[in-house]
Amino acid sequence: MFLKIIKIVFLFLVTVVINPVFAQEAHIYISGSETMKKMMIRLSEAYMKKNPTLIIDVKGGHSEKGLEDLKANRVDICATTKPPVTTIAEEMNSFYEEPLIKKVIATEALAVFVNKKNPVKQLTCEQLADIFSGKITNWKQLGGKNAPIKAYRMPDLSGTAQTFQAALMLNKKYAENLPIKNTSQEMVASVENDVYAIAYGKLNHATKNTFVLPLQDCDNVSLDKTFYEANPENINAKKYVFARELYLMTHKKTKPEVKAFLDWVLTPEAQSLISEMGFIPIKSK
């Protein structure tokens, strides 16, 4: 009996030595922006290949969900996109007593789309705000054809919707009767199929049947009212204002494996993957 017990203990110790995953397996939990979900899954898969004893679990939803999860310690990292008028520091100070680590990992360019056949190719900040707030309802008021404007918006919790309102709506609220589309692809499809539609979404979802409007800086204190096209030069110079930085956030007192992952996300290897996903990497800013 004594020899049998020794044999069992020996086999257990051999299993632990031979199977390091059993002994060293660690987890990182991430939640937040639905926009960033696919990118975070791609980054996590690449990082886990380099670190086979690590498991990274990624969930989407929206930025606010990630912030709440981080606050409640349900996750280690929050992936978030926030409107440029809301500073992350101010929002986080309302949630936490301890400092946070905040890292900008990429920039996402957004766009306002009209149908390629629509003769209206330029809209001021005031005109855009009046369209989406319901004040302007006919393309004839903008020098176009006598046809009703079909404007589409995204849900309130969408980071894209919040960024649009913050950057281009001049503090005006969306009209209550605007049809809602849940994704950028749905927004663009609405414009592709309707000459009189207007919508916003991700720049990399533009198609041959859509036209990306050049935009002004709609900040009331800005003296530059030049219309800037959505190209990398203008985006990196922050002249094209309909863009947002993408953040990863964690507690300052976090696990070593979390800090290591955040550091890796800023390496050329990870930034190259970010670029492949259609985002603007930090290295090109």
Q: 26-107+245-284 domain in CATH 3.40.190.10?
A: yes
- The DSSP 8-state label assigned to residue 124 in this structure reads -
What residues contact residue 84 under an 8 Å CB cut-off, 6+ apart? 163, 166, 167, 241, 244
Q: Looking at the whole model, is its pTM more than 0.75?
A: no
Nearest Cα residue to 122 out of 195, 49, 186, 198: 198
Q: Do domains 26-107+245-284 and 109-236 have the same CATH topology?
A: yes
Distances (CA, A) of 267 to 41, 52, 274: 17, 19, 11
Please report, for the chain, the start and end positions of each structural domain, with discontinuous segments joined by +: 26-107+245-284, 109-236
User: Strand, coil or helix: what is 246?
Assistant: strand
Please name the CATH architecture into which domain 109-236 falls.
3-Layer(aba) Sandwich (3.40)
The token duo for 266 is 């800023």
Question: Tens-digit pLDDT profile for the chain (285 aa)?
Answer: 444 444 444 444 444 444 444 445 799 999 999 889 999 999 999 999 999 999 999 998 888 889 889 989 999 999 998 644 345 555 555 555 556 888 999 999 999 999 999 999 999 999 999 999 999 999 999 999 999 999 999 998 788 888 899 899 998 999 999 999 999 999 999 999 999 999 999 999 999 999 999 999 998 777 889 999 998 889 888 899 999 889 999 998 899 999 999 999 999 999 999 999 989 988 654
